[in-house]
Amino acid sequence: MRSFSLLAGFHYTECLNSLQEFAIVFSITGHFARWMGGRTLAAEWTIREVLNWTRGYFKSAGISQPRLEAEILLAHALDVDRLHLYLTPDKPLTRDERDRYRTVVKKRQNGTPLQHLTGEVSFYGLRFRAGKDALIPRPETEELLDHALRFTPRDREIRCLDLGTGSGVIAVCLARYLPRAHVTAVDISSAAINLAGVNASMNGVEDRIEFLESDWFDRASGDYDLIVSNPPYVARDELAALSSEVRDHEPREALDGGVRGLEEIDRILGGVCAHLAGDGHVLIEIGASQGEDVVQRMLEVGLQEPKILVDLSGKDRFAVAGAP
């Protein structure tokens, strides 16, 4: 469509986009009627109408799964599960419901992570509390857990160490899916440790996880059959290039891996051999360009047969090695 001037500095298409965005944001409150293509609707919005509008709003904001996120946030605002939205699509929202939903929609559009708004995250088939005190687990970390379970014996009692546990998702899953495992989870952040403890209780494994506030191995003792970690590995000069959702809302200490992104990985590898059982393995999530350096460091400290594993997108993502 060819645009033409309406007012100084404005064009028809720009005005139309602005009007639609204005309608999407504010009509959720019920104070404005919906307008599009000459059609008006009453201010009383139904679940179906709200979801359709929010999908478009989120899509224009660059949110990758706009319909799914709209459903999750509306279910959260209404305090129902998502199935309820499908069973009652013509139910009008009350004023309080519209106000609650409008608040979370605006926060999400401004970059607040979905998990911070709902206060929870799904990981490896389990539910976890989420918050600003710990990194939101990514799909790659589910792949890390896949590898961890493959390297871990199930026919005997074992000890596992989760370094930098954050919200505790790795430690909890190890305890949940390895019924003969005894797990130690450490983090330098007391707030993260508290959150991880809540998640262990939520998933019924609090009696099989020991939580330690520790700077990596400082308070860990004994040998472990599996040492696993998703440490900070973003190079410091790359932090500014992260999406605002990550850069502005995730804890910096969970991201900043030092000048080259390898500082914390080096510290872990420097202490791992003193805590790895004779047939044990260490498994670390790494940056996509760090594989060669990490393998070299593993060889230098005496670890055996180090190798790099790729993630589902084909990028170097995990480093694994056996005990000396």
pLDDT tens readout for residues 77-119:
999 999 999 999 999 999 999 999 999 999 999 999 999 999 9
pLDDT digits (tens, 9 = 90+) for 233-249: 999 999 999 999 999 99
Whole-number percent of the chain with pLDDT over 70: 87
17 vs 167, higher pLDDT: 167
| Average pLDDT over all residues of the chain | 88
pLDDT band of residue 126 (cuts 50, 70, 90) is very high
pLDDT digits (tens, 9 = 90+) for 134-169: 999 999 999 999 999 998 988 899 999 999 999 999
Give span(s): CATH 3.40.50.150, the chain.
Answer: 120-322
Q: What are phi and psi of 89, to 5 degrees?
A: -65, -25
pLDDT digits (tens, 9 = 90+) for 18-77: 334 444 444 444 433 343 233 333 457 899 999 999 999 999 999 999 999 999 999 999
Q: What is the pLDDT of residue 151?
A: 87
267 vs 33, higher pLDDT: 267
pTM, two decimal places: 0.84
122 vs 44, higher pLDDT: 122
Q: What is the pLDDT of residue 3?
A: 34
Mean pLDDT, range 224-240, rounded to an integer: 97
Q: What is the pLDDT of residue 43?
A: 56
Name the fold adopted by 120-322: Rossmann fold (3.40.50)
